[in-house]
Structures are given as C-alpha cells and as structure tokens.
Structure 1
Amino acid sequence: MTEHPHTELDTHVARLVAFFENLTPASLDQLNQFYTPGAYFKDPFNEVRGLAEVHGIFSHMYEALRQPRFVVTDRIAQGDQCFLTWNFEFYFKGFDKATPQTIRGGSHIKFTADGLVDFHRDYWDAAEELYEKLPLLGGLMRWLKKRAQQ
C-alpha cells in the first residue's frame, strides 16, 4: 500500500471531522474556528448563508432530537475541498423515543486558503432516511415506494 504525503488539506479535514464527531451544544460556540463568517450551508431542509444561520441549524438539531451525533465513515480530499460520508445517529424526541435512528449521507466541503469552511452542502435522501421513519407519513412513503417499484 502506498502512503500519501500528509497535506495541509488533510489537516483541515481532520480538524473538521474531529469537530463534528465530538459536537455538543457547548462546542457550537467554536463554529467560528471552522467556518467563515459568510459560509454557505445547504441540506434537504435548509439553505443559508452566514455563521449565525449555520449555528442556528445545528442548535435546532439539539432542540429537535435526542443524542444526535455524526460518525464520519470515509473522506476524499483534493485541492481545496473534500467529500465526507457519514452516519447521523439520533433518537426522536416526540415519538418512538426508544429506537435508535440513522441517516446516511455525505457532505461536500470547500475550504478557504486559511482552512475555514466557506461551502458546506449535505446530501441525503430525506424520503428514505427520514420520512419513511415517521408515523403516518412513513406508511404513505413506503406504499409509494412499493408502487413505484412495480
């Protein structure tokens, strides 16, 4: 196996991965050490620009879910950007509080020259990974999926 030289990008990616895998409500106050003031963030439910707005999305995650955490499963880094695959593990607060939930997704991240995130786009299938797990809507989504496969 060939060893690749450690790059500055690898350092930025490793720092960011460690931040996300150890994220807590208190550590959100360190977001400015990882994101630019005008950072862009998009996922299936949000599209925002600005550190305060990104902070708000992650804060809401802790309000809406119990024990949310990210586990990065792989990373690809090149140039000034990376793609991370991850599992987002959590428990619902409102219903089915006992069943652990997992959403599998990926993040496209672009760094500035000084190693801060200026672009963060999350990709995951909201229908499969979330809607199918919800009461009422989940039954409808599973039925629609089954019908589409016939």
Structure 2
Amino acid sequence: MMKIFTTLMTTVVAVLGLSACKSLPSYSQDYTQADQNIQGISLNDEQAHEIGTRFVAAFNTLGTPKFVNQASSLYADQLYINDTLSQFSNKQDLIQHFEGMNNRVSNVTVKLISATHHEDSAYIHWYMAYDFKMFGRSKTMASYGISEIKINAKQQIIFQQDYWDPANGLYRSLPVFGGAYKWVLPFKKS
C-alpha cells in the first residue's frame, strides 16, 4: 500500500512540477494596466466603509440562493477582478464563477475588519470562514484578506484585486491535495 501511495504522490508532484513550467501571462501586467486604465470615483472614509459594508453583506449570502443576485447587483458589466485564484473582465463570466462557488460552500461568515481609501481605491480588510465541499467531504476553512476596490458612479464595482493567502486559507485544507501541498511546501512556524 505504501508503494502505491509513494508512486501516486511522485506522479502528482511530477505533474504539478511540469504544469508549473507552463508559460502564463503575468497577472502583474494585467493589474498594472487595469489599475491605470480603470478610474473609479474619488472616495472618502465614509464611502470606503459603505463599500466594505455592501461587499461583506453580499458575500455573507454566499452558499445561499440569494447570493448570485446580491453579487450581480454589486458588480458592473465591464470590470477587472482578480480574486487570487481567477481573473475576470466581465460580469457574465464572474457570475458563472460565483454560481460554481455557490454550489461548493455553505455556512459562510464574512466580517469587515476595517475600510480605508486612497484616491479612488477602497481597501477592505475582511475575515471569511466557510465550509467547502470537495469529493463528497466538507471542510471548514478560514482566511483573512484585503480587497482593493474601485466603484463607478452607480456604486458598482469596476475593479477588484484581492490579497489573501490561498496556501494557508485553502490549499493546505483540501482533501487529498492538502497533504501533497503540505509535503511540497511545508508551513514553518517558529
């Protein structure tokens, strides 16, 4: 049994290693271009807090039937969003992504920690905990993050860049993959 497990793990590591060699466009270039080309409305502290409150309220419905409608009203048709795992430039693709997420999560809690701004960007510091379903199992996960958000005059999100740690907030907790991830990139705490 150990020999089969070792062979399986070696194969998984080899496939992951080879897939990492694939040439992908740099998200940094996309971010820079979107940040320079997408102008939101100028913000003050109160508006930044309001953006954070609406953002958290919408994502607190994740995993429920009303989430897709809540999220749809939050975003503009044309946008830039990078949630660290995926990148979108239109609401239609983003909503399709949200529908898939909605089927995999439950018991979501999102808390607004703080909201601040600089010119047209709100910086929303949040905490999210949720149950994630994969391979018929459910695992409770939690993460802290910050979302840089720009809105248009209609109060819709036109730019969002999320900053959070998917290694410790998601990957290490996944069934099967988590063990391989922990083995390849161990978390060191001193």
Structure 2 length-normalised TM: 0.62
Aligned residue type for 2:124: L
Pairing 1:1-150 to 2, within 5 Å after superposition = 7-23=46-62, 24-94=64-134, 96-97=137-138, 99-146=139-186
Gaps of at least 5 residues in structure 2 are 1-43
Closer/same/farther in 2, CA of residues 56 and 96 from structure 1, 3 Å limit? same
Contact 2:48 2:123 in 1 (8 A): no
Unaligned ranges ≥5, structure 1:
none
Letter in 1 for 2:153: A
SS of residue matched to 2:185: helix
SS of aligned partner of 1:93? strand
In the comparison of the two structures, how many residue pairs are matched?
A: 144
Matches of 1:11 and 1:113, distance apart in 2 = 14
Contact map agreement 1:9 1:78 (CA 8 A) in 2: no
Question: By percentage of residues, which structure has more helix?
Answer: 2
Contact 1:25 1:59 in 2 (8 A): no
Q: Distance in 1 between matches of 2:132 and 2:57?
A: 24
AA paired with 2:97?
Answer: I
Shift of 1:7: 4.1
Percent identity over the alignment? Answer: 24
Check conservation: 2:77, 2:91, Cα contact below 8 A.
Answer: yes
Tell me how far apart the structure 2 counterparts of residues 8 and 127 of structure 1 sit (CA, whole Å).
Answer: 32
Distance in 2 between the 1:137 and 1:104 partners?
21
Query: Aligned-pair RMSD on alpha carbons?
Result: 2.8
Letter aligned with residue 20 of structure 1: F
Distance (whole Å) between structure 2 residues aligned to residue 53 and residue 11 of structure 1: 26
Distance 1:53 1:133, change over 3 A: same
Paired residue secondary structure (2:148):
strand
| TM-score with structure 1 setting the length | 0.75
Structure exhibiting the larger radius of gyration computed from Cα positions: 2
CA separation of 1:90/1:15 partners in 2, compared to 1, >3 Å: closer, same or farther? closer
- Check conservation: 2:45, 2:117, Cα contact below 8 A: no
Change (3 A) 1:78 1:57: same
